[in-house]
Amino acid sequence: MRFPVDHGDDAAARRAIRGGALRGVMLAALATILLAPTLRASPWLHGIHWYGDPASGRVELMTGNRPAYCLETVMTHSDIWWSAGWQRQQRFLTAVSRGHTLIVRIQRNWGENTPFAHNLSDFDALAQSAAAELADVCRIWQVGNEPNLLDEWGGQALSPAEYAAAYRRIRTAIRSVASPLGEQLVLVAPVSPGDAIPGVRHTGGNEWLAALCAELSPNEVDGFALHGYGAPWHSATDARRDFLASILTQLAILSSFGFADKPALVTEWARAADPPSTAQEAASAAFLNGSLADVAAWNAQPGAHPVSAMCWFIYPPDSGAWQAFSIESFAGSGPPGADHDLFDAFRHAADAQHPSVWPSQAAAAMLDSPPAGVNAARSPLATRSADSGNPAPAFDGVVSVVSKWTSSAATPPHHLTVDLGLTREVTGFVLRNAGAAGENPAFNTTALTFETADGAAGPWHVRTMLYNATGANVLSRNFGAPILARGVRLRVLDAGVDATARIPEFEVYALRPPGDMDNDGDVDAADFTVLRFCLRGPGFTYASGTTCRAGDADADADVDMHDLADVQRRFGG
């Protein structure tokens, strides 16, 4: 891609940079003084990939003069207009003076987004020099791009171990430079999302990301860049679902490997209007609005690993490979309005003022072990629902190919929800995947969230995000200390080899309530039939483990009127 800027003669450009060095230093000092408070990070979620030409661009009109994140690319061994010095003078100072926050993707050249082994040692100084050149305009960096693509590394397969070694070095070099904007934030490169494609994507995006996370420790990483797309063959609605499932699956990978508190910024996000047409642009416009709102809704959930930025790929006009993505390339080609025009859709999304949310300290992870108590999801009080398909077989206690919840073939995420009927002390869950029933383990759930709510229908609190890297047939998690909840939701982000969730059994465990004499998880008329025989007063004690001990609500080994009063308060059926 080449920006639509009149570069003129390269030599003249170089002379302009050298001749303006002193002016640049003065401008940088002035920018630091005047702009530092607004440069630390944009307060809004929306962003773009490539700011383009400041003279002809309409970014501020498109954002309603609100700050935006701008993903830019700096290369040390390409044309001069990709260099840090040229871009600083020609674009970056203007962009930040207008309030925008830069994210700079640094790499050696096209096709060498991470330096080859023989260039790695030299790149340390080059990365450090670029960070110094841009210290007053950028503190957020992305090291390379889509390392699971063959074309991004000279036609070779870049391994997670090789990338991790390069990232550590480059991160150290950049962080050695102080920025007046704050601490340098060096992001791990985003993967190309999707399965492996011979000759294109040497490793599936999720598999490569999981392998990379296994190579790194949390203290070696500042944050992660993510990429996600809605396919042009999907409707706007299905493209939104596809995109959200992809991004949340990547977040599940990060959480599963201990990176739940690390910032995650989407530096490419789009739906191609391909083939270019009025109808396709309208679908992409609806996708732009809807997917940004979907991520904002996710960010608003307690316990969610938030997405801090969403940079649309791309903003500036293009007549080549990226035309189907470009906001400006479609300008004036169809009817106006947020449901039709990409430019208007972005303005509408910016007007919504979705906030940029950064992660706080991650909550304690759920423990990888079976939970205590009884399966409250099978209680007669519980009601079950799903976004599609019949949920009943997932709660009948039968693990079988012929007794399972099967979602429709619609695009994930898929939801399976349980209203426990009353507030319970939930201890955890057990998910029995298709492989547990004897089916092909390729149908096992690969990524999920487990969420709870105080009420039957939300609002939902994200308790854990899981990536089933080993393809386990059974997943068990417990809280350690029970939590109070009435609603429980399983969100299947990646259903395995296809779009269909197959869940033979979803068990939600809660502590056995006092008065649950028949051990079915609730207190109802059947329990009172047994309890009346145990009600012998304070003069008669029961041994631990006996049936009547279940009626001992105050833990004094007898069953008396104090216990009966407590059990009556728990009566639910």
CA distances from 266 to 48, 146, 445 (A): 10, 13, 24
Once rounded to an integer, what is the mean pLDDT over residues 141-162? Answer: 98
Asked if the model's pLDDT at residue 44 lies above 60, the reply is yes
Q: Which residue has the tokens 């300290």?
A: 361
User: Exposed, middle or buried: residue 151 (CB in 10 Å: 0-12, 13-18, 19+)?
Assistant: middle
- Tell me if 371 sits within 8 A of 430, measured CB to CB: yes
Which residues are bridge partners to 70 per DSSP? Answer: 48, 102
Q: Which residue has the tokens 């007053």?
A: 136
Confidence of residue 4 (pLDDT cuts 50, 70, 90): very low
- Tell me if 104 sits within 8 A of 135, measured CB to CB: no
Separation of alpha carbons 329 and 322, rounded Å: 9
Quick one: three-class SS letters along 514-562? CCCCCCCCCCCHHHHHHHHHHCCEEEEECCCCCHHHHHCCCCCCEECHH
Confidence of residue 572 (pLDDT cuts 50, 70, 90): low
CA gyration radius, the chain = 28
Asked if the model's pLDDT at residue 33 lies above 80, the reply is no
Quick one: which H or E segment has residue 566? helix 561-569
User: Over the chain, what is the mean pLDDT?
Assistant: 90
Asked if the model's pLDDT at residue 9 lies above 50, the reply is no
Separation of alpha carbons 508 and 420, rounded Å: 9
Q: Which pLDDT value is given to residue 156?
A: 96
- Tell me if 2 sits within 8 A of 78, measured CB to CB: no
pLDDT digits (tens, 9 = 90+) for 332-383: 888 999 999 999 999 999 999 999 999 987 778 899 999 999 999 998 889 9
Pairing of strands 405-406, 505-510: unpaired
Q: Which pLDDT value is given to residue 540?
A: 87
Please state whether the peptide bond connecting residue 514 to the residue before it is cis, i.e. omega within 30 degrees of 0: no
In the 8-state DSSP scheme, what is residue 388?
S
Query: For the whole model, what pTM was predicted?
Result: 0.89
Asked if the model's pLDDT at residue 22 lies above 50, the reply is no
Asked if the model's pLDDT at residue 286 lies above 60, the reply is yes
Q: Which pLDDT value is given to residue 497?
A: 94
Q: Which pLDDT value is given to residue 40?
A: 65
Confidence of residue 537 (pLDDT cuts 50, 70, 90): confident
In the 8-state DSSP scheme, what is residue 365?
P
More confident residue, 101 or 12: 101
Confidence of residue 552 (pLDDT cuts 50, 70, 90): confident
pLDDT digits (tens, 9 = 90+) for 155-183: 999 999 999 999 999 999 999 999 999 99
Spatial CB neighbours of 473, under 8 Å, sequence gap ≥ 6: 432, 433, 434, 435, 436, 441, 444
**Cα dihedral 195→196→198→199 (10° resolution):** 110
Asked if the model's pLDDT at residue 557 lies above 60, the reply is yes
C-alpha of 141 from chain center: 19
pLDDT digits (tens, 9 = 90+) for 170-220: 999 999 999 999 999 999 999 999 999 999 999 999 999 999 999 999 999
Asked if the model's pLDDT at residue 330 lies above 90, the reply is yes
Separation of alpha carbons 395 and 508, rounded Å: 9
| Domains along the chain with CATH numbers | 42-351 (3.20.20.80), 374-510 (2.60.120.260), 525-569 (no CATH)
- Tell me if 147 sits within 8 A of 113, measured CB to CB: yes
Separation of alpha carbons 190 and 458, rounded Å: 32
Angle between helices 120-133 and 160-175 (to 10 degrees): 40
- Tell me if 545 sits within 8 A of 512, measured CB to CB: no
pLDDT digits (tens, 9 = 90+) for 304-326: 999 999 999 999 999 899 999 99
As a whole-number percent, the residues of the chain with pLDDT over 90 amount to 78
Q: Which pLDDT value is given to residue 544?
A: 83
User: Exposed, middle or buried: residue 545 (CB in 10 Å: 0-12, 13-18, 19+)?
Assistant: exposed
